[in-house]
Structures are given as structure tokens and as C-alpha cells.
Chain A
Amino acid sequence: MAFETTTVPCKPLPSAAAGTSMSASASAWANSSWVQVSAGLTPAIQVVSMVVHAAGGGAVGDEIEVDLGTGLAASEVVVATVRFCKSSTAQYVPNFDLRPILDNIAASTRIAVRCRHRDASAQTIIVGWNYYEKPTGIAQVSAQPHKWLPSAANGVDLTGSGAVDSDGLSTGAYFELTSSLSAAAVLCAFYAQVIATAVNTPHWIDFATGTAGNEVVKATVKVRGRTNVGYNVPYTLPAPLDLFAAGVRIAARLRYRSTSATSLRTAIQIAEKTL
């Protein structure tokens, strides 16, 4: 399929202003209040990317979720959840893609955000977005909300003992991301944050389906383990992976080249079908 293009300008939200500031709760995974981003835009929009500034508080390895919602105050409906993992206590996170492109914000609809996070410590989260006004003429979009597994809960720490095979490769056990997927979905993105040791070495993550002991790998990704430096945003897959039927168990394991025991924190972003 040829590249889709548009003559419509890309725009930021908010525009020529500071991002939308949220006061994250001091209780783990408790929602903040909703904060209005816009009273409504005309026409409808398609959201393509996000920028985050975690302005302080929270520890390295803290996991943060931001809900993008529409609707009147106290009646907001979540149209997307974005999740990332902090690699320093206060950091700017560069623009990162939302895929599939989000096509579920109607014209003249109030837009708001809220957040929650892993650490039981107050902090400020500031977010901004990039979007296009409809119609863009683009077909590869989705009205399905972006969701995360796990959600509103700690990510899964994939651990490895450092016991290596004859090739020097250490393979960890599988850790469950969900016991049963509630609806068929495509895998869109993931994040990976090294929590302990084995930093600056290659890490492979296998995402698999199947019962414990019978996992079948559906995707293998490779990341460079880092901690305490840079930023840690979702890695978007080259194409959403349509290999996850309703009811399947999803698990992940870690493979890496080190004799050190290690731990890597991950979560996955899905969009339920039909896109």
C-alpha cells in the first residue's frame, strides 16, 4: 500500500501555550482529577503523537498512565490511555507516536486528561498533543481506544538469573501480562525499562500467547537496556500485530547477553479489533 498523505496542517494542542498540567496523586494508581485541555475543537480531529514533561517527584522506574477523555465534566469517556516509564525523577520526554492514529474525538467535544502512577508520591505531569483536523483523507486510523496491559497496575518485571547457555545467552521465564484477553486485539507498542543491572547490554523480549509452559512467540523485539538516563517512551511496532484472539493468555520473557541477574519492566499497548 502506498504511503497515505494529507494536505491538512499538523497542529499542537494546546497551541502556543504551556502543556496541560495535572497533579498526580500521592496514592499509587489513584486517578488525578480531570483537567480540561479544550472546551471543544471544530472540526473533529485525529491525534497522532504526544509530548510529556514529568516535572518532578516519583522515582526512577515510576510508571505513568495518562487518559485522554472526551465529554462534559464528570462525564468524561476515555478515548485513549498512554503509558510510559520514567528513567529519571524529572524529565522531558520527546514527541512519541500514537498508533494507530486516534480517530475518536468528535467536533465541538470537550477534551480532558487525567493521570495515575505507580509511586505513592505526588508529582506534576504536563502533556501536549499533535493532531490533524478531519478530514485528512487517511484510511489507516482507529476509533478504538488505545489500552494497556497491565493497566492501572504495576508493569510486569521480566527477570533473568544470568545463567547463560553455550552461546552466552540468558533466557528468563515467562511472566504473564494477561491471563485472558477480553477481546481480539492488535499489539501496537510496548515499553522497556531496565530496573536492575545488566544495563547497556542488548535485551530481547519475546511476547507470546498460550498457556503456561506452552507459550508460542508472536513477536520478538530488541532494545538496549538503559536506566537512569535519557527517556523511556513506548516503542511503536512497525505495523500493528494482528495475532491476539479473544481469550488468549499473553506472556513475555527476557533474553539478554550477560551473566548478571537482571530485571526489565514492560507493558504493552493494544487496540481492540475491529480497527
Chain B
Amino acid sequence: MQSTTKVLKCYPTSAAGVTVQNSGTSLTSTAFVQIHAAIPAAWLLAGLLMSNSSSTSPSAASWEIDIAVGGAGSETVIATLRGARVSGNGQSPMNRFGILIDALPSGSRLSYRLRYQNATNTPGLHRVSVFYYDK
């Protein structure tokens, strides 16, 4: 049975998740939004939390989130996860990557972008946080 003595961490911590507004066109990628300018140690990416932001509640829908490393304009996607918002005001539980992803070297700039399958094409605000272990 797999186990670890490493501490499970969340980023941002003690702060709101990183906000993005979905495109008004369904399944169209947003621009990349920076989560961390330079992670202080190599990370093993475990999962993410996607929640709504403020009162601008998007409708329930499926989504895809690309997690990327690299400088602005040169992002390389290291993982894409498909999930769903269960209601406009609701929050999704922690969405786990099935296998810990070992592709975030120390010093990496971490960012994400969103594709939202929004039938009504209504823009809404979303927040994303990531869960990880130090490698």
C-alpha cells in the first residue's frame, strides 16, 4: 500500500485561489494565468480545486484545466484535467490527478488556463488552487 511521510500542501495557501474568467465561447481556452512565479522546490502535483468566485456564478458545466510550466508566452502543458462544476454556486471537491505528476522542477513558473463547456456562453469567474507534495 502506498503511503508517504511528506506533507500535503496547497497553493495558494491562506489566500484565495487564482481567478480566471471563462471565455464567452464554450470550450475556448482562456489565456494562461500565473499561479506561482517560481516554485521554491520541485513539486509532485497531486490535484486541484476549482471553485466559483464572488457572486458572478457560472452555470454548472464540464471544464478542462491545463496546468503548465514556463515563462509567459512559452507555457508548456504538463497536465490537463477534466472535471465538472456541480452547480453555479457550488464548489467541486478536490480533483485528483490519478498519478502524481513529477514535471515541476524547482524554480518553475506555474500557470493554468481554462476551457469551460458553458451552454449559455455566460462568462463567470472561477478560482483554482493546486495540491502538491515537495519532491
Contacts and interface: CB of A to CB of B under 8 A. Distances in A.
Interface of A: 1-13, 15-19, 46, 48-49, 51-53, 91-95, 97-98, 101, 126, 128-132, 136, 138, 140, 230-231, 239
A51 B84 contact: yes
A1 B92 CA distance: 30
Could you tell me the dominant secondary structure of chain A's interface residues?
strand
Nearest to B98: A48
B127 interface: no
B95 to A, nearest CB: 5
B2 A6 contact: no
Contacts of A11: 80
Interface string B44-79: 100000000000000011101000000000000111
B103 interface: yes
Contacts of A138: 99
Interface of B: 1-4, 6, 27, 29, 44, 60-62, 64, 77-87, 90, 92-93, 95-103, 115, 117, 133
A9 B61 contact: no
13 contacts: A2-B2, A3-B3, A5-B102, A7-B103, A9-B77, A9-B78, A9-B80, A12-B80, A19-B62, A49-B98, A92-B62, A95-B83, A101-B98
A136 B115 CA distance: 26
Contact of B44 (A3, A12, A93, A98): A3
Contacts of B95: 49, 94-95
A266 B90 CA distance: 25
Nearest to B64: A12
Given A15-B64, A92-B62, A1 B82 contact: no
A94 B3 contact: no
Interface centre among A5, A98, A131 (most CB of B within 10 A): A5
A18 B115 CA distance: 11
